[in-house]
């Protein structure tokens, strides 16, 4: 069973971040430049939230707010669900599915060490299923 730490080894550790007092336009720029759908919101060295493209669409665009004048803190999700490096892919997939979100910050000793997405989880699940199929085919043929 794959764990989050294995996903981070493959994709790289670290997560893109933004400060809570930064204007939303800065967060959107970082997401576009880095081709990611969410950023962790860090104040000092503490995780204080997560902001996603979905937050932007629902809390800025649909409410006709200014991306330049709205701070990230006004649209971020403050109650962040996180996972530890030893969490399994299945546990994370269940969390994302049940809670209807697409990004999970990974914390180790209270420090953000990475971010995994639903895409990372699906990719890992498919890879694991392919491996199981190959093993079963070898067993049947052999």
Q: What is the pLDDT of residue 40?
A: 97
Closest CA to 102 of 124, 84, 120: 120
Q: pTM for the whole thing?
A: 0.88
Q: What is the pLDDT of residue 27?
A: 97
Once rounded to an integer, what is the mean pLDDT over residues 5-34?
Answer: 95
Ordered by start, the domain boundaries in the chain are 4-141
pLDDT digits (tens, 9 = 90+) for 21-79: 999 999 999 999 999 999 999 999 899 999 999 999 999 988 999 999 999 999 999 99
pLDDT digits (tens, 9 = 90+) for 91-124: 999 999 999 999 999 999 999 999 999 999 999 9
β-sheet bridge partners, residue 49: 41
Distance CA 129, CA 76 (A): 35
In this structure, what token pair is assigned to residue 142? 């052999």
Q: Does 142 have pLDDT greater than 80?
A: no
Once rounded to an integer, what is the mean pLDDT over residues 83-87?
Answer: 97
In this structure, what token pair is assigned to residue 81? 């669900």
Tell me whether strands 103-108 and 111-117 are parallel, antiparallel or unpaired: antiparallel
| Least reliable range by pLDDT among 4-8, 56-60, 93-97, 128-132 | 128-132
Q: What is the pLDDT of residue 135?
A: 86
Q: What is the pLDDT of residue 45?
A: 87
In this structure, what token pair is assigned to residue 93? 């997939």
- Fold classification of 4-141 (topology level): CBS-domain (3.10.580)
Q: What is the pLDDT of residue 56?
A: 95
């Amino acid at each position: 069973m794959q764990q989050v730490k294995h996903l981070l080894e493959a994709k790289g550790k670290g997560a893109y971040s933004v400060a809570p007092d930064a204007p939303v336009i800065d967060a959107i720029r970082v997401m576009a430049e880095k081709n990611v759908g969410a950023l962790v919101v860090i104040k000092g060295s503490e995780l204080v939230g997560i902001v996603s493209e979905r937050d932007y669409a629902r809390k800025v665009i649909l409410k006709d707010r200014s991306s330049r004048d709205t701070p990230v803190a006004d649209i971020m999700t403050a109650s962040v669900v996180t996972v530890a490096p030893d969490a399994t892919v299945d546990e994370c997939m269940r969390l994302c599915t049940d809670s209807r979100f697409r990004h999970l910050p990974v914390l180790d000793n209270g420090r953000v060490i990475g971010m995994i997405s639903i895409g990372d989880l699906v990719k890992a699940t498919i890879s694991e299923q392919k491996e199981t199929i190959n093993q079963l085919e070898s067993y049947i043929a052999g």
